Structure 1
Amino acid sequence: MDASQIDFAAVLHAQGPDPERAETLQLYGRFVGSWDAEITAHGADGISHQARGEIHFGWVLQGRAIQDVWMIPRLSERSTAPVFPIAGNWYGTTIRVYDPTIDAWRIYWIDPATNAFRQQIGRAQGPDIVQEGTTESGVHTRWSFTEITTNSFHWLGEAKPAGSPDWRLVVEVRAQRR
């Protein structure tokens, strides 16, 4: 078979987690599936904006990683929705890979729709998942999954400029499994 006959989606996607790592991979594996999302973006001026979005998680790379796609607005509304204030219209993907050498997850967010590229390290913190990193301009980021149940989660996107003692909530997402 030559390269033109290979189904890219078939070689990327996996049916489930790598059996050797299945338990560890459930930190994010529990999110596999499709989610409806209500997003609130919080401006530094105290004004908030709401939008609807969707999130899709799946197993990839022979079940050794989780990949997701986050969209604001929903796919069915993309052609007619205005630009979402503060956060922009997302159409990005995250690759999440567990790294046993640091006992944590390496997180790579890529959103060509908003020209955002982030690297973070993620770990469980009690019942939550907390991911932290630093942007190219030195802003610290913290993205947290909280209030996690089988059918819902609350995601918080926070930022702290270099030298600032305080985190500021920028975006929050309330997700419900479809």
Structure 2
Amino acid sequence: MTDFARLLHADGPNPEHAAALQLYGRFVGDWDAEITAHSPDGTKHIAPGEIHFGWVLEGRAVQDVWIVPRPVGAPAFPIAGNWYGTTLRVYDPSMSAWRISWFDPGRCVFRQQIGRARGEDIMQEGTTEAGELTRWSFTEIRENSFHWLGEVKPAAAVDWRLVVDVRAKRRKG
């Protein structure tokens, strides 16, 4: 049998688009996170989590795994639910942007987005099956930390609503 993990993982970015691949490549590694879920009535719930990023597919993509709350098997996280999912982020040079797919089979949540740099931040935009707009942003990006925001905007709404925010710190060692 072929070693699937060996074929999936890569040691670094593909040289063909190495500079562009660093938009998400800078996150490669292991992260601890504090996740805050925001309900429409203003209630907040906080849980620990973890995020792992790695190079895949000949270094042409970045894949991650988000686990909330940690440890796996913990009681359901209010508002946002428990996450054990993966994002595949593939750079598309024809559009100078990233095609992004999020899969969380435990909650049957699947999202497609397009990601681009916006100044110092990264903005990913898409639409849910119900027609809500999604906006996921990486902000306050530093070598060892970042802030991630998950927002939605129902079709009839004027404003975006923050659903989840994540403060991540790179694991030492």
Question: Where on the TM-score scale, by shorter chain, does this alignment land: which range?
Answer: over 0.9
Structure-2 residue corresponding to 1:159? 152
**SS of aligned partner of 2:162:** strand
User: Aligned partners of 1:103 and 1:22: how far apart in 2?
Assistant: 13
1:23 to 14, 19, 22: 19
- Deviation per CA, 1:52-101: give whole Å up to 9, x if none: 00000000000000000000022xx223x210001110000000011111
**SS of aligned partner of 1:148:** strand
Which structure's residues are more often strand, by fraction? 2
- Deviation per CA, 1:91-118: give whole Å up to 9, x if none: 0000001111111100000001211000
Structure-1 residue corresponding to 2:165? 172
- 2:154 maps to a residue whose letter is P
- Does residue 52 of structure 2 align to residue 60 of structure 1? no
2:65 to 54, 69, 72: 69
Structure-2 residue corresponding to 1:116? 109
User: Aligned partners of 1:164 and 1:78: how far apart in 2?
Assistant: 35
Q: Which runs of 5+ in 1 are unaligned?
A: none
- 2:12 maps to a residue whose letter is G
Structure-1 residue corresponding to 2:34? 38
Q: In percent, how many aligned pairs have the same letter?
A: 72
TM-score w.r.t. the length of structure 2 is 0.97
User: Aligned partners of 2:81 and 2:118: how far apart in 1?
Assistant: 29
TM-score w.r.t. the length of structure 1 is 0.95
**SS of aligned partner of 1:136:** coil
User: Aligned partners of 1:47 and 1:124: how far apart in 2?
Assistant: 31
Give how far 1:51 is off. 0.2
User: Aligned partners of 1:12 and 1:132: how far apart in 2?
Assistant: 26
RMSD after superposition = 0.6
The number of residue pairs the alignment matches comes to: 171
User: Aligned partners of 2:97 and 2:158: how far apart in 1?
Assistant: 25
- Deviation per CA, 1:111-134: give whole Å up to 9, x if none: 012110000000000000000000
Pairing 1:77-116 to 2, within 5 Å after superposition: 77-79=71-73, 81-116=74-109
